[in-house]
Amino acid sequence: GTMFLVGLSGGIASGKSAVVAVLRELGCAVIDADVIARQVVQPHSKAHQQILQHFGTEILLENGEINREALGSIIFSQPEKRRLLNSITHPEILKEMLKQILKYFVLGYRYVILDIPLLFETRGLTRLMKYTVLVYCDPPTQLARLMRRSGLGVAEAEARISSQLPLEEKRRWATHVIDNSGDWESTRRQVLQLHTRLEDSLDFLWARLAVGTAVAGLGGLVFLLIRHFIS
pLDDT range class, residue 106, cuts 50, 70, 90: very high
Q: Is 80 found in the same domain as 1?
A: no
Of 85, 108, 131, the residue at which a domain comes to its end is 108
Give the tens place of pLDDT for each residue, 110-122.
999 999 988 998 7
pLDDT range class, residue 1, cuts 50, 70, 90: low
Report the number of distinct structural domains present in the chain.
2
Residues 6+ apart with CB under 8 A from 201: 1, 110
Q: Residue 87 falls within a domain, yes or no?
A: yes
User: What mean pLDDT value characterizes the chain?
Assistant: 87
Q: Is 119 found in the same domain as 22?
A: yes
Q: Residue 205 falls within a domain, yes or no?
A: no
Residue 5, burial from CB neighbour count under 10 angstroms (0-12, 13-18, 19+): middle
Q: Residue 228 falls within a domain, yes or no?
A: no
pTM here? 0.79
Q: Is 148 found in the same domain as 43?
A: no
- Are 51 and 66 in contact by the 8 Å Cβ rule? The answer is yes
- Are 198 and 109 in contact by the 8 Å Cβ rule? The answer is no
Q: Is 77 found in the same domain as 191?
A: no
Q: Residue 148 falls within a domain, yes or no?
A: yes
- Are 13 and 142 in contact by the 8 Å Cβ rule? The answer is yes
Q: Residue 179 falls within a domain, yes or no?
A: yes
Q: Residue 121 falls within a domain, yes or no?
A: yes
pLDDT of residue 210 exceeding 70: no
Q: Is 72 found in the same domain as 49?
A: yes
Helix (H), strand (E), coil (C) string for 126-183: HCCCCEEEEEECCHHHHHHHHHHHHCCCHHHHHHHHHCCCCHHHHHHHCCEEEECCCC
Q: Is 196 found in the same domain as 116?
A: yes
The rounded distance, in Å, linking the Cα atoms of 214 and 66 is: 42
List the domain range (segments joined by +) for residue 163: 1-29+111-200
Q: Residue 76 falls within a domain, yes or no?
A: yes
- Are 135 and 10 in contact by the 8 Å Cβ rule? The answer is yes
Q: Is 20 found in the same domain as 133?
A: yes
Q: Is 137 found in the same domain as 25?
A: yes
